[in-house]
Each structure stands twice: as structure tokens, then as C-alpha cells.
Amino acid sequence: KVVADMLSVAGVDRIITMDLHADQIQGFFDIPVDHLYGANVLAKYVESLKLKDLIVASPDVGGTKRANAFCKKMHILTDKEVPMVICYKHRPDFNKVSEMRVLGDVKDKDVVIVDDMADTAGTLCKAAQVMKENGARSVRAVVAHGIMSGKACENIENSQLEELVFTNTIPFEGKKCSKVKVVSIAEPIAETILAIQEHRSISELNIH
């Protein structure tokens, strides 16, 4: 809220954001906020792969809403129902280390794990391993923000992931990671700016 107020005092009269960590952050602003989602460009990339038996996965229970929304986007693009599975951490006993399990069938499926960000990518790599152990044909991950801190690149390279795809909201330069693909959000940002300048509806752009 303090940052939101500082921006307003500095003279900002409208904000365009992409994939806020929590939608409620929009409520901190007293000025219009246009919240875009990287899932739109990520879904188009996944659609271009023409995966045989696509299934969407959430790496944790908290991400089910995001994964479900991605399923709906893929349904629109492919005109096919896209199922969803969930990874969850199971704790056998109160003093035992939790283990990750899959809620749903991924055998012989092409799994796409959907998350909001990749920091050290530990959870994504563990989820990919569990998917493979449960018979998945291929596993890849798509996330909005590629933070890629610490040993993230090393973790991805040594993981069961076919690839990790994220947008260029955060610069990813000078880091060698053969499994990483970056997709541009220039088009949706440009379309939103143009729509604002021309006083057109942004929701009609289908980029929210």
C-alpha cells in the first residue's frame, strides 16, 4: 500500500501490471490498475507444441486456481477438454519429512506444470520428478516470472523437465540454460497501452 501511494504521489495515474503475486494487490491502488496475465502468451506457446495427450498440473494445492484457469485457456485454443492434476506434499507422520504425491493420473501424458514464478525452481524440479515416476511421457513447466536465483539453472538442467518457459517480465541475460525458453510479453503490453490511449475496452483484447 505504501508503494502504491508513493507511485500515486509521484504522478502516476494508471498502472499496467502482469501476474501480481496476489490479485488483492490491485486494491492497494487508488488509481486504475490493468492486471494482465502471462498465461495468455504461455498458452499460445504450449498450443504451438501440438502435444498429443496434454494435461495441466499444479505444483501445489495453492496453485489449483491458476492451473484451472490455464486449462480453460487451452480448451479455448485447442477446442479440447484439458484435464488437471495436482501435486501435494504428503506428511506420513508428524515427525516425518513430507513427500510429494500426484493427485490424478499422468501415465503416458504430456504434462505442463503451471506456476507463477521460478525462483530456485526446486518445487518445479521435484514436481517434474514425481510426474515422471508416475509414468508421464514428458514434463515441461510454464511460469510467468523467471527469477532464476541461486542454482536455478543448474537445478533445471539436472531435472526431468523437457523445458522451462517463462516471460520476459524479468531480464534473463547472460545465463546459460539450454532448457529455458523466454517468450515476449511485448504484444499484450503494447495492445493494452494502445487501447488505453484510444479509450477502448481492454477486456475485449482477451489478454486478461
pLDDT tens-digit profile of 144-184?
999 999 999 999 999 999 999 999 999 997 678 999 999 99
pLDDT tens per residue, range 70-80: 999 999 999 99
pLDDT band of 89, cuts 50, 70, 90: confident
Which one of the listed residues 1, 52, 65, 89 is annotated catalytic? 89
| Beta sheet of 84-90, edge-to-edge order | 99-103, 84-90, 54-58, 110-118, 138-146, 164-167, 180-183
Element containing residue 72 per DSSP (H, E): helix 64-78
Name every residue whose Cβ is closer than 8 Å to that of residue 158 and which is 6 or more positions away in sequence.
125
3-class state of residue 82 by DSSP: coil
Active site (annotated) includes residue 89: yes
Q: Does the pLDDT of residue 9 top 60, yes or no?
A: yes
Look at residue 35 and tell me whether its pLDDT is greater than 60. yes
For the chain, the residue count is 208
pLDDT at residue 92 in the model: 67
Q: Report the chain's mean pLDDT, rounded to a whole number.
A: 92
Instruction: Give the three cell numbers for residue 145.
Output: 516470472
pLDDT at 105: 97
The per-residue pLDDT for 94 is 58
Q: Mean pLDDT check: name the lowest of 19-23, 26-30, 164-168.
A: 19-23
Cα–Cα distance measured from residue 23 to residue 27, given in angstroms and rounded to the nearest whole number: 8
pLDDT at 95: 56
166 vs 42: CA distance, rounded Å? 7
